[in-house]
Structure 1
Amino acid sequence: MIKLIAFLGNYGKKYENTRHNAAWVVLPELDIWSRLSWQNKFRGEYAKCVHPADSTESLHFLKPHTYMNLSGESVGELAKFFKLKCENILVVHDELEIKPATISLKWAGGLGGHNGLRSIKAALGTPDFWRLKIGIGKPQFENADIAGYVLSAFSKSELSGLNRASVNLNDLLNKVLNCKNQGELKVLLNGKPSIKIELKDEK
């Protein structure tokens, strides 16, 4: 059962709507957003609500304010405080390796060079946690500055795509949150390392 959803990003006005902050960009589009009341805690913004799969459990939400490369300091602190297992943690983050506005769910595995994930692995002592990836695509040109790309702002068309992808994101997240154990979560993957939901072209 997922008990913590951590949305990775960089804190500060200059990082708003940048590709590296894709998780923060889509957060207000989630169905559950209006039910959350945020407070400063665990080195970030923290909220909780009754878990949709079990009314005796809480579902925790976290936006680390440690900056991306130190996300694990915030996630690790919360996980330790609530004595969460790694399989209870879902990390929402931007992903270069999948097309823009594509949503992907993955259990454990490699980190894909993502410094936020690397920091969380170091804090938890394992890469075995759930990831919900939001595709931002790669730069058009080879040898492009990747750091500059992820820290630059989304275009209007990219933001529009993310907005339309929120339907897919909510659908997948609702399925994830209604799983009561690790076995049910892995059924969602249908025997694959990950599942992807691509944005349908507008007609």
Structure 2
Amino acid sequence: MTDSNSSPELVFPQLIVGLGNPGSKYDQTRHNIGFEAIDALARRWQISLSEHRKFQGKFGEGWANHRDKMRLLKPLTYMNLSGQSIRAVADWYKIPPEAVLVIYDDMDLPIGKIRLRQSGSAGGHNGIKSTIAHLNSQNFPRLRIGIGSPKNQPASVKGEVISHVLGRFSVAERRTMDEVLQMVIDAIEMSLKQGIPKAMSLYNSRAIGLDVDAS
């Protein structure tokens, strides 16, 4: 199943970006799961990440599965300015938005679920708002990782939202998230081999561990 506005021609990711906030106080918080995904991919593909001033982020390039040239990025601009860093890399390597895959957290998805899309709005996520603004396009793929909502209820109070996204996972949630990160790797590797629509059809319906009864 593909989005109605997707192109029939497959475009494979060339740059994978994980969103988060820099600094040790944000390490392993829910809002930084995008950073964790990039770290997991870097380990998997043996790509070394280092701080790159021109790109305003931690950046590395290498080979995914020894066959696909890949660039990985963790913007260090803080979440609401992520697009600056992404645009700098995309411009330098002449990568079109359609080949920029952005990974980030989503409170509307329960823990244990991921969701791939080929395009779409920001959905209230400041990092994606910034990315759309700087790429001047919504037509880039994204992979959302479920972090659940506060106390499993819809997040409506701003203070609750901030406390939730900047909080850390419980021990049980952490175990689930470790499995989710492996699923993220599997989904991305399928995207590189067979295209994002194929990965969407398989992984958008999968669920791991906690809270998997929600959609």
The TM tier, using the shorter chain, reads 0.7 to 0.9
Shift of 1:185: 2.7
Q: What's the TM-score once normalised by structure 1's chain length? A: 0.86
Determine if the alignment matches structure 1 residue 50 to structure 2 residue 63: yes
Correspondent of 1:22 among 16, 19, 33: 33
User: Against the structure 1 CA distance between its residues 136 and 177, is the aligned structure 2 distance closer, same or farther, given a 3 Å change threshold?
Assistant: same
Report what 2:206 is aligned to. Answer: 197
Determine if the alignment matches structure 1 residue 159 to structure 2 residue 202: no
Shift of 1:32: 4.6
Is 1:29–1:163's contact at 8 Å kept on the other side of the alignment?
no
User: Against the structure 1 CA distance between its residues 113 and 11, is the aligned structure 2 distance closer, same or farther, given a 3 Å change threshold?
Assistant: same
Query: Which string of whole-angstrom CA distances, capped at 9 and with x for unpartnered residues, describes residues 72-120 of structure 1?
Result: 0000110011111111010010011111131211111121100000000
Unaligned runs of 5+ in 1: none
Report what 1:170 is aligned to. Answer: 185
Correspondent of 1:85 among 75, 96, 120: 96
Aligned residue for 2:150, secondary structure, equals coil
In proportion to residue count, which structure has more strand? 1
Distance in 2 between residues matched to 1:68 and 1:196, nearest whole Å? 28
Question: After the TM superposition, which residues 104-143 of structure 1 pair with which residues of structure 2 at under 5 Å, given as runs?
Answer: 104-140=115-151, 141=153, 143=156
After the TM superposition, which segments of 4 or more aligned residues of structure 1 sit over 6 Å from their partners? none
Count residues with an aligned counterpart: 193
Distance in 2 between residues matched to 1:79 and 1:29, nearest whole Å? 22
Shift of 1:170: 2.1
Q: What's the TM-score once normalised by structure 2's chain length? A: 0.81
The alignment's C-alpha RMSD in Å is: 2.2
Query: Which string of whole-angstrom CA distances, capped at 9 and with x for unpartnered residues, describes residues 31-86 of structure 1?
Result: 75461112222100000113548x4x621000000011100000011001111111
Q: Percent identity?
A: 31
Is 2:190–2:198's contact at 8 Å kept on the other side of the alignment?
no
Aligned residue for 2:48, secondary structure, equals coil
Is 1:9–1:21's contact at 8 Å kept on the other side of the alignment?
yes
